[in-house]
Amino acid sequence: MSVIFFDIGATLADPHPESDGSLTLRPLPRVLSTLDSLSGVRMGVISNPGSIEAAVARALAEAFPGRFTDASLVNWGVKDSRGIFDRAVAGTGGTAAGDCVFVGEDAQERGFAREAGMRTAAHPVFALAATENRSVLRARIELRDGQDPGSLTEAMDETEAVPVEVVSERLVLAAVTARGVEALEHAGFSVDVRGPAEDTVASAARRAASAE
């Protein structure tokens, strides 16, 4: 069975220090629904809490109750080499590195994870695709005459697609899987696939989603 590990900051949630000295994690758009869709999949964390590990751990439990409960899959530390990713794989209890996925917005950290043999995704929306070894693609999505821009946003939120750049009211550049392409075309949108998404494209997709 696959194990999906998530970074926290800028991937799962944005941290917000409170006036009383505590820390709050505010889940980013689509994260909670994505985690719900992964029910039954083992999920963990690979993240660097700095000097406030206890505060981050409490905030994680409060922001995502019942979701990251297996302590053996929660890995705290710097992600400046493959070391922490090797340790995360070793802590799964026998899951092969190739069946582990690291989801994080930082391209260099994803590179270290791949050195450890893991699969990677730049955005939680693409976590399931990574477990199934499905590619993320670059695409131009155009609205046809009579279609409302809001309908495209709703359609993308229901499938494996994340906006990278809104070029105009009628044209959006996106990162999307083949499954997402099929869903968007079925919804009546024109989708022009331009090839595999580079890491920079996928990272931009996460930033665009977090700004919504």
**pLDDT tens-digit map of 7-18:** 999 999 999 999
pLDDT digits (tens, 9 = 90+) for 149-172: 999 999 999 999 999 999 999 999
Q: Residue 176 gets which letter from DSSP?
A: E
Q: Kindly give, in sequence order, each residue whose CB lies less than 8 Å from that of residue 7, ignoring residues fewer than 6 positions away.
A: 45, 46, 47, 79, 102, 103, 104, 105, 106, 109
* Residue ranges in the chain whose pLDDT is less than 70: 198-212
pTM metric for this prediction: 0.92
Distance, CA of 148 to CA of 142 (rounded, Å): 11
Domains and CATH numbers, the chain: 3-131 (3.40.50.1000), 137-210 (3.30.70)
pLDDT of residue 114: 97
- Say how far residue 179 (Cα) sits from the centre of its chain: 16
The β-bridge partners of 121 are: 103
pLDDT digits (tens, 9 = 90+) for 39-57: 899 999 999 999 999 999 9
Q: Supply the mean pLDDT for the chain.
A: 93
Which residue is associated with the tokens 């889940």? 27
